Every structure is written in structure tokens, then in C-alpha cells.
Structure 1
Amino acid sequence: MDSRHMQIGEVAARTELSLRTIRHYEETGLVIPSARSRGGFRLYTETDVARLMVIRRMKPLGFTLEQMRDLLAATDRLDSGELDTGEREALLERVRTFERAAEEQVEKLRVQLARAEDFAATLRGRLEEPAPAARP
């Protein structure tokens, strides 16, 4: 169970997200702090950190905030355990759709990485070429 609470600074350090980004995700409703301290400070749990990590992983793959919200809603509902078979299958299919989209983005990134590595190798080769003989 999530009994230990963390302040936003610790969450930022653990997720490698800025305080501003975490606050933005709160403003957009993606992650709501589980509690507030008596002084009004945001308090987060391990579940909140896990949710932020999902968002952090989705962002570089080009998912929109709305898509993030949709996936998180589906996984939240799946985690609730109060589903009939039809609803569970529909939610799993939504998650599968995101999994396929993530795999497509990963493949595109692999192609980009291969091209970048080829480019770097070309430059490295250029730098390793012997200098042409100087003309008198």
C-alpha cells in the first residue's frame, strides 16, 4: 500500500521531471497529488510516481496529453478490478492499441538512431582521413 508520502522535490528527482512539468501534469489532470500536507504542500505516493513514469515514457514517443489521459483512464479502470468480461476486454484492446502505437514509434526511432549512427561514423571517417599533402 502507498502509506509513505513524498514531496514534489523528491518526486521530481525520482522521475527526472521538473517541478514545473509535474505541476503542469497536475493542472491538466493527469496526476493529482494523493494528499496535501498541513502547509499545503503536494504529497505523492509510489502510485503517483509510477503514473508520472508512464507519462514520462509516453512523451518522447509523441503521445498527446489526451492520449496519455485515455491510457491512464483505461489502466486505472483495469486496476479497479470491478469489471465485467466485456468491459475488461474493451479496456485491454485500448491498451493493446497504445502498445502497437508505441512499438511503431520505437521502430521509427530505431531507424532514426541508425541514420544518426551512420552520419556520426561518416564524420569520424572523415576526421581520420590523412590530410592531403601540402602544396609548396
Structure 2
Amino acid sequence: MKPVVRPITVDEAFDSPMFVALCDEYREESARDPGLMGTPPSREAYTNMVNAGLMRPLGVFMDGELVGLCAVLITPVPHFAGRVLASTETLFVAQAHRAGGAGLQLLRAAEALAAEAGASGLYVTAPVGGRLERVLPGMGYRETNRVFFRGQE
């Protein structure tokens, strides 16, 4: 069966029977700060961001089951005369469902969503050394920034 990508609500994501497993797999693969491990996502914060027009969530489904998520941030950037940029806050497809093109379809949907929102482009964050970091250059993405993190200890 072919993956289906579509806009979703925050409640639809959080209420999915697959949500906890997706979050656990995402965290294990993507979290580079041990201090963030085990921290559950905030339904309220996501809802507030969507309601404020700052975030648009997408889901990818296989046989009606949620197997991936993308949360696209849509923000004006005052430093660049208020131009709108989009970036992925989350972009993840469960390992078991990547071979069928679900990730590519989800990324293309995020690009379309960004364009519909009037964004000049889409920034995609990828964990260092991860598969996404390796495939993005072949899809026309170029490295523009390196993000560093230092925890508050």
C-alpha cells in the first residue's frame, strides 16, 4: 500500500495509538542531548502554536495507521524584512516504513505547505550522522548552518 500524507490536527497525532511509539523511536534516533531523553511532547504547546498560525502538522499513514509526523514552523523573520521562512520542527518516519517512500512524500508535502504559506524556502534539520543528513544533499538541499547546543547544567 502507498503512503498517504495529509494535514493532521494536534489531537489526531497525540490520540493516535502509534504516537507514543513514534515519539520513543524519534527521540532515540534524533535527540542529541541526554537531558532531553524521556521528555514527553507538550500537547498544549503544539496546540497553541497551531492556533497562533506558527505551526502546521502533517502525518503520514500506511493502511490508516500513523507512521510518521512533520511539524512545519512558519515564521516571519524580522532580520530579513519580515520574509516568511519555514523550518521543520519535527520530520520523522518510523524505520519500518521508510522503504516505501513515505519520508520523501512527507518532505515534499512539507515543501508544498511552506510554499502555500508564502515561505521563501524550507529549512530541514537533520541529526548529525543520521540518514536524513546523508540524503538531503541529493534532494537539492544545501547545508546552510550548523547548530550547536550547550545544556544548562
- The TM-score with structure 1 as length reference comes to 0.29
Whichever structure has more strand as a proportion of its residues is 2
Whichever structure has more helix as a proportion of its residues is 1
Structure with more contact order per residue of length (Cα contacts < 8 Å, sep ≥ 6): 2
